[in-house]
Structure 1
Amino acid sequence: MDPSTSAQDMMRCDLCETAVVQMHCDTCLVNLCKACVGEHFSADFSNHHKIVDFKDRKKSTLICPRCTSHGEETCEMYCTQCGIPVCSICLASDQHLGHKLVRMQEIRDEKRDKLIKKQTELKETIYPTYQDIVYDVQSKMSQLEKEYGDLSTAITKHGEDWHREIDKLVKKLKAEVDEMKNTQLQTLQKHLAEIKTKICDIKDEIKSIDSVLDSTHISSLFSVPSTLHEYRKLPRKIIVSFPKFTLKKLQADQLFSLKTIPLKSDEHGYSMKTTQKSLKAGSSPLVKQLLDEPETVNTIDTRYSKAGSSPPVKQLLDEPETVTTIDTGYKDYLYSVACLSDEEIWTRGDDNIMKLYSINQGSLLKSITTKSGNIPIDIAVTESGDLVYTDCDDRTVNTVKNEKTEEVIRLQNWKPLSVCCTSSGDLLVIMYSDNYKQTKVVRYSGSTEKQTIQFDDKGKPLYSSGRYNRYITENRNLDICVSDYGASAVVVVNQAGKLRFRYTGHTPAPKNEPFSPRGITTDSQSHILTADINNDYVHIIDQDGQFLRYIDCGLSYPWGLCTDTNDNLFVAQCGNRQVKKIKYLQ
């Protein structure tokens, strides 16, 4: 129990030994009642006594433990041979005769020094090393995805050169590739989970040491286990190898071969870091390598599948580049952008006017005012090129065709936020209730409600409540993706409305600020892109929620996002009212 907060009737004056402690001499470290203060001064005039209220005594005052053998006696010495604190009665006995005794202050300082060294090694060496190992394993996982994706593509390419007789063989080989990839990927995932568990243990150990170091109780110093030897032994290093695909000019059933190369591990593959500086955002070579490593995602685009082919595979550029910048002229803020075509974009800002701009010329082509005069909350463009906007205050979703506005949906007891147009021609609208307690996604075919998405399998809300910014889009695999500012997450459900995953940002964040998602869009590779206004970056994740990289390009409060048919990214910057066109895929 901390004496500064324990009941004072348990403490007695050190002079009279009867009255309750009320005062304290910080010079002599003596507890006093008010009646004995004068006697304490008169007993020793040589010292400059500093008398304070007992509750205001120096927090650095050493609090020695009670003797386990003699009840209330205080142990001010420590027997190094027995390894226990001892009191004056213990010293008077023969039990510790001839033993080496040191003051508790000395043993306390010695143990503090050891703990500080341990904490320093954990913070500056072991913990950073484990973080770099995580980045290394994640990089290998990304490389594994890319290499196996390239391998599957090569097999498919050669398989297409032959007739129907080898189709079964091609399918078999691809299945073997997938099985090998999954086996190795599971090994890496398990390895990664073990490392992350160790990192959590290290962080808990550091916090525990912080608590002990902040405590004035010496007894707590003895309760800290010695675990450095466990953490100094680094985990084995997984060495990823990839099978080789060989084309053989033999009979039809011997045309291809696939050599299996299993994962290897190296107990001494990693070395301990000596500094933590490399962990700072933007400076770590491992972090840079991970962010710049492109990853191929083999996903069928529904628009291409109608024609019987998949979209071409594109890789992430090492450095995204700004193609052009468009000034929109809004007075204070710019919020949304939507592509009408590869040459024209719609924007909406802080007033009731939606503007159409030429991308190449940067010139204003058209302006549309909302029917109610309210500020639109979000905009989208249909497959036929009609503008769609939501009017929260009017509770409506509207379309603009040939400059004529038509109300499509009118809500009761709900207000619309964001809208997107799906590949099937439906509208997805995210909305919140009038009492701000519920949020849901509704699919409409025209004005007819077809589907409601609100709860997960356990009956818990999928989305946060309140009037927060939330934006919605549909991925190429028909997943429904919502950037939920209130939950600081991207929430992705499948076409049936079942939760697939939540993405809550990537560590380390570029500016070490909390993840704050705004606009959201997808591309032909089924990447999901979301604007992070707190860090001035755009996050790119794959269709399964795995972080791929950041897009910077000097963004200023990025808000709205959209992509064109060539996978160029358009970013509506709230800070400077500009739209940036960015190329990030090869």
Structure 2
Amino acid sequence: MCDVIRVIIVREDSRHYVPQADLMMDPRTSAQDVMRCDLCETALVQMYCDTCLVNLCKACVGEHTFSDESKKHEILRFRKSTPLYPGCTSHDKERCELFCNPCHIPVCSTCLASNQHLGHELLKTMQVLEEKKEKIAKEKNELKEIIYPTYQGIVSDVQNRMSQLEKKCGDLSTAITKHGEDCHREIDKLVQKLKAEVEEMKTTQLHTLQKHLDEVNKKISEINDEINSMDVALDSNDTSKVFSFMSNVDEYKNLPQKILSSLPQFTPGRIQGEELCKLFGTLSSISVQSEEHGYSIKTTQKSPEAASSPVIKQLLDEPQTVTTIHIGYRNYLINVACLSDEEIWTRGEDNTMKLFSINQGSLLKSVRTKSGNIPHDIAVTNSGDLVYTDYDDRTVNIVKNEEIQKVIRLKNWKPRGVCSTSSDGLLVIMDSDDYKQSKVVRYSGSTEKQTIQFDDQSKPLYSSGRFSIKYISENRNLDICVDDCGVKAVVVVNQAGKLRFRYTGHTPTLKNKLFCPRGITTDSQSHILTADGNNHCVHIIDQDGQFLCYIDCGLSEPWGLCIDTNDNLFVAQWRKKQVKKIKYQQ
């Protein structure tokens, strides 16, 4: 209603209103909101008649009062604060104190007398004006208190991302330089090693050849002695000496063996440019994308939309272990799930799930599975209830007030990983009974809402097989993240189930072993964290699949992961049966 009112210029009182259009067209009021006398139309307004609602100059006051002596004219001094009613577009010099709601126009008394607005809802112009001003005030407040701070937040977000990019690229350059220096050192070591081997070969060969040379020179000396003896015999006239002389010529005819020494050869490895890049290391590609709904208006209410714009946090250069909790399982420790910032649920390779105090490290509660089977995965709902999957029983169960309820019973499928969603539903990754298919199913209560199984080329998104371990988590941007040990990858699809990317590890890994994901969680920054049991570390990647860093902290065979509300990481160590609490963000 109010947005069509022609009341634009407002004085401080509540008596007179003039539409802006009329001010611009009327020569009496066209000089930048200068009011002219309604009678002479030239002099500035100095007075006004409150009875007739006429603007007057001092010179025209007498003329106006005598023009109609039947009225008692109340002449008042005109002030700039005096409000102006809008002039009637149909009746010249008439002022409109009412507003016709159906027609959306201000009306004067003459308009009302003409019966044009008979039966219409009439409002006071002041009321309409106040409503319009109230709307403007609300919109101003929304701009000032909500929208403007949101844009400031976007600026801060972009600046933080730029700062993070600068730091990350600087760290990358430092890492590449260090790796190059390490490679140079290794090459220098190799060069020195090869040169030392060449020297050793030369010494060995020279020794052999020198020994052979000494033996030949000895023979030569003996031959010279033999020749001298022959000369003596030839020059002698003593027949007895000549007859007794015995020659050793036949002995010298047996020449010594020839020493054949092979000279060392160096065959340089032929490394093409691409092969050298692979040996040295490669950079992952980057992508710059725009997301239409990436930012949201911040309100005072907590909602998934508001949660999608968290405070920007920086990753620590050196993550820190806050505490270590010793879990009393006889067998291995598999999963961990945060109930709160003070309590965590755990499960091992038996049928009991245990609740521990983080600060005290003490056991608070134990819950046995209803079937007596080993649970495959555990999670905590938004309301704080424990959820677990029973693979052999084909059920998903929830623990409420220490009572176990079967929420989902599957047919021809077996549940593996489970997580609670931001909408308080469940996501379950499951295998078919014949172990030939895998899929993700979204549930609201026990009702199936969505199935995710194939990509755009109708190829399976997830691996199949009896020993293909899988865990699942929902990211803050509502992506569905699956830790698929069968294909050694983290498979991420969007909320609609469309494949976004596959993360297959980062080269080189800490222990130079094959990437083996065994646990997954996400944090407030939409980072995806996955446990790498083979390399004894946790990988952190961003929401687009780009590797950010490793968390080491002396981890041993990490498996299950979870994050508390302060973005502290909890890691279940398989064989050690310990949970480490790690701070990795500022």
Q: Could you tell me the TM-score, scaled by structure 1's length?
A: 0.51
Q: Which residue of 1 aligns with 2:357?
A: 358
Contact 1:540–1:550 (8 Å) recurs in 2: yes
Amino acid at match of 1:571: V
Q: Which residue of 1 aligns with 2:341?
A: 342
In structure 2, relative to structure 1, the CA distance for the partners of 1:359 and 1:161 (3 Å cut) is same
Residue 511 in structure 1 maps to residue 514 in structure 2 = no
Shift of 1:400: 0.3
Shift of 1:310: 2.7
Shift of 1:308: 8.2
Give, in whole Å, the separation in 1 of the partners of 2:150 and 2:520.
41
Q: Could you tell me the TM-score, scaled by structure 2's length?
A: 0.51
In structure 2, relative to structure 1, the CA distance for the partners of 1:557 and 1:225 (3 Å cut) is closer
Give, in whole Å, the separation in 2 of the partners of 1:165 and 1:453.
37
Give, in whole Å, the separation in 1 of the partners of 2:481 and 2:355.
26
Q: Deviations over 1:526-571 (max 9, x none)?
A: 0000000000000000000000000001111100000000000000
SS for the counterpart of 1:430 is: strand
Counting aligned pairs with the same residue, the percent is 68
Q: Which residue of 2 aligns with 1:571?
A: 571
SS for the counterpart of 2:486 is: helix
Amino acid at match of 1:401: K
Amino acid at match of 1:371: K
Q: Deviations over 1:94-127 (max 9, x none)?
A: xxxxxxxxxxxxxxxxxxxxxxxxxxxxxxxxxx
In structure 2, relative to structure 1, the CA distance for the partners of 1:374 and 1:226 (3 Å cut) is closer
Give, in whole Å, the separation in 2 of the partners of 1:314 and 1:387.
29
SS for the counterpart of 1:576 is: coil
SS for the counterpart of 1:513 is: coil
In structure 2, relative to structure 1, the CA distance for the partners of 1:512 and 1:450 (3 Å cut) is same
In structure 2, relative to structure 1, the CA distance for the partners of 1:460 and 1:583 (3 Å cut) is same
Large movers: runs of 4+ above 2 Å? 160-171, 224-228, 297-310
Higher Cα Rg, which structure: 2
Shift of 1:360: 0.1
Q: Which residue of 1 aligns with 2:62?
A: none
Contact 1:436–1:465 (8 Å) recurs in 2: yes
Q: Which residue of 1 aligns with 2:321?
A: 322
Show the 5 A alignment for 1:521-560: 521-560=521-560
Give unmatched runs, 5+ long, in structure 2.
Answer: 1-140, 177-267, 285-290
Q: Which residue of 1 aligns with 2:561?
A: 561
Amino acid at match of 1:537: C
Shift of 1:311: 1.6
Q: Which residue of 2 aligns with 1:488?
A: 488
Show the 5 A alignment for 1:113-192: 163=144
Shift of 1:231: 9.0
SS for the counterpart of 1:490 is: strand
Give, in whole Å, the separation in 2 of the partners of 1:563 and 1:402.
24
SS for the counterpart of 2:366 is: strand
Amino acid at match of 1:354: M
In structure 2, relative to structure 1, the CA distance for the partners of 1:412 and 1:359 (3 Å cut) is same
Contact 1:519–1:560 (8 Å) recurs in 2: yes
In structure 2, relative to structure 1, the CA distance for the partners of 1:456 and 1:308 (3 Å cut) is closer
SS for the counterpart of 2:365 is: strand
In structure 2, relative to structure 1, the CA distance for the partners of 1:169 and 1:338 (3 Å cut) is closer
Give, in whole Å, the separation in 2 of the partners of 1:353 and 1:453.
31
Give, in whole Å, the separation in 1 of the partners of 2:488 and 2:432.
20
Show the 5 A alignment for 1:290-305: none
SS for the counterpart of 1:538 is: strand
Residue 445 in structure 1 maps to residue 444 in structure 2 = yes
In structure 2, relative to structure 1, the CA distance for the partners of 1:318 and 1:395 (3 Å cut) is same
Q: Which residue of 2 aligns with 1:580?
A: 580
Contact 1:304–1:311 (8 Å) recurs in 2: no
Q: Which residue of 2 aligns with 1:16?
A: none
Show the 5 A alignment for 1:290-439: 310-439=309-438
Q: Deviations over 1:489-546 (max 9, x none)?
A: 0000000000000000000011110000011000000000000000000000000000
Amino acid at match of 2:522: T
Give, in whole Å, the separation in 1 of the partners of 2:581 and 2:149.
44
SS for the counterpart of 1:511 is: coil
**RMSD between aligned alpha carbons?**
4.0
Contact 1:569–1:584 (8 Å) recurs in 2: yes
Residue 475 in structure 1 maps to residue 482 in structure 2 = no
Give unmatched runs, 5+ long, in structure 1.
Answer: 1-159, 196-223, 236-275, 281-285, 291-296
Give, in whole Å, the separation in 2 of the partners of 1:436 and 1:488.
17
Q: Deviations over 1:161-189 (max 9, x none)?
A: 99599969969x969x89x98xx99xx9x
Number of residue-to-residue matches in the alignment: 330
Amino acid at match of 1:420: C
In structure 2, relative to structure 1, the CA distance for the partners of 1:389 and 1:318 (3 Å cut) is same
Give, in whole Å, the separation in 2 of the partners of 1:165 and 1:481.
33
Contact 2:307–2:476 (8 Å) recurs in 1: no
SS for the counterpart of 1:486 is: helix
Q: Deviations over 1:296-348 (max 9, x none)?
A: x9877996555588321110001001001111111120000000000000000
Show the 5 A alignment for 1:1-16: none
Amino acid at match of 2:379: A
Show the 5 A alignment for 1:245-324: 310-324=309-323
Give, in whole Å, the separation in 2 of the partners of 1:169 and 1:580.
37
Amino acid at match of 1:572: A
